[in-house]
Structure 1
Amino acid sequence: MPSVPFPVLTLLALTLLLVRALFPAHQRHRGTVCFLIVCILLIAVTTLRWEFNLASLRHLQPILAMLLAPVVWHSFISMAPVSRRRYLIQLLAPATLSLCATIIWPASTDWLLILLFTGYGCSLLSLARQGDHWLSFCRLGELGQTKIMAFLAGCFLCLSAVTDLLIFFDFGRTGGKLAPSIIAIAQAMLLPFIGAAILAAGKRVEVTEIGAEVAPARPVLVEDEAAITFNAIEKMVRESQLYLNPDLTLALLARKTGIPARQLSSSVNAVSRGNLSRWINGFRIERAKALLINTTMPVTEIMLESGFTTKSNFNREFQRVVGASPTAFRQQQRDNLTTHSEMR
Structure 2
Amino acid sequence: MPFVPLPFVVALLLFILLWVVARREDEAAPNLPLLGLILLAALQSILTGLRWGYGIREVGYIAPVSAAIMPSLLYAGVSRLVRTSHRRWPALLMLHAAPAAIVMLLVIVRRDAVDMALVAIDFIYAAAILWLLRSGADGLRLAPFDGAVPAYRAIIAAALALCLSALVDMLVSFELASGHGDRAATIIGIANLFILVIVGVAAAAASQSHVPGTLADPIDQLSPPDDGEDADTIARVNELMQEKKLYRDANLNLNRLARRAGIPARQISAAINRATTRNVSQYVNEHRIAEACRLLGETGQSVTEIMFAAGFQTKSNFNREFRRVTGTTPLAWREKNARAPSLASPLSS
Tell me which residue corresponds to 1:60. Answer: 62
In 2: Cα distance, 1:334 partner to 1:133 partner:
34
In 2: Cα distance, 1:24 partner to 1:306 partner:
21
1:244 Cα shift?
0.9
| Unaligned ranges ≥5, structure 2 | 206-225, 342-349
1:139 Cα shift?
0.8
In 2: Cα distance, 1:84 partner to 1:23 partner:
25
Q: Given the alignment, which residue of 109, 115, 120 partners 1:110? A: 115
Q: Given the alignment, which residue of 265, 269, 273 partners 1:269? A: 273
Q: Given the alignment, which residue of 288, 293, 317 partners 1:289? A: 293
Tell me which residue corresponds to 2:323. Answer: 319
2:339 aligned with 1:303: no
Alignment check: 8 A CA contact 1:6 1:187 kept: no
Q: Given the alignment, which residue of 157, 172, 177 partners 1:167? A: 172
Alignment check: 8 A CA contact 2:34 2:74 kept: no
Alignment check: 8 A CA contact 2:65 2:100 kept: no
Alignment check: 8 A CA contact 2:272 2:280 kept: yes
Tell me which residue corresponds to 1:127. Answer: 132
Deviates more, 1:22-31 or 1:123-132: 22-31
1:274 Cα shift?
1.4
1:176 Cα shift?
4.0
1:164 Cα shift?
2.8
Deviates more, 1:180-189 or 1:260-269: 180-189
- Secondary structure of the structure 2 residue equivalent to 1:141: coil
In 2: Cα distance, 1:38 partner to 1:79 partner:
20
Q: Given the alignment, which residue of 46, 49, 52 partners 2:48? A: 46
In 1: Cα distance, 2:99 partner to 2:92 partner:
11
1:255 Cα shift?
1.2
Tell me which residue corresponds to 1:329. Answer: 333
Cα 1:85–1:335 change in 2 (3 A) is closer
Cα 1:27–1:118 change in 2 (3 A) is farther
- Secondary structure of the structure 2 residue equivalent to 1:78: helix
Alignment check: 8 A CA contact 1:303 1:309 kept: yes
Tell me which residue corresponds to 1:73. Answer: 75
Deviates more, 1:244-253 or 1:121-130: 121-130
TM-superposition CA deviations, 1:130-189 (whole Å, max 9, x none):
343431011111111211221222123222323333333444442844422332454577
Cα 1:197–1:111 change in 2 (3 A) is closer
Tell me which residue corresponds to 1:209. Answer: none
TM-superposition CA deviations, 1:251-295 (whole Å, max 9, x none):
111111121111211111111221211110111122222222332
Deviates more, 1:257-266 or 1:85-94: 85-94
Deviates more, 1:235-244 or 1:97-106: 97-106
Aligned length: 315
Tell me which residue corresponds to 2:236. Answer: 232
In 1: Cα distance, 2:237 partner to 2:266 partner:
13
Tell me which residue corresponds to 2:153. Answer: 148
Tell me which residue corresponds to 1:204. Answer: none
Cα 1:175–1:291 change in 2 (3 A) is closer
1:318 Cα shift?
2.1
Tell me which residue corresponds to 2:217. Answer: none
In 2: Cα distance, 1:289 partner to 1:27 partner:
28
RMSD, matched Cα: 3.9
TM-superposition CA deviations, 1:18-58 (whole Å, max 9, x none):
78867976699847655444434323422431243221311
Cα 1:92–1:56 change in 2 (3 A) is same
Tell me which residue corresponds to 2:218. Answer: none
Q: Given the two structures, how large is their TM-score scaled by the length of structure 2?
A: 0.73
Deviates more, 1:104-113 or 1:59-68: 104-113
1:116 Cα shift?
2.3
In 2: Cα distance, 1:277 partner to 1:240 partner:
17
Cα 1:40–1:188 change in 2 (3 A) is closer
| Unaligned ranges ≥5, structure 1 | 201-221, 338-344
In 1: Cα distance, 2:55 partner to 2:27 partner:
39
Tell me which residue corresponds to 1:208. Answer: none
- Equivalent position amino acid for 1:294 in 2: E
Cα 1:34–1:234 change in 2 (3 A) is farther
- Equivalent position amino acid for 1:120 in 2: Y
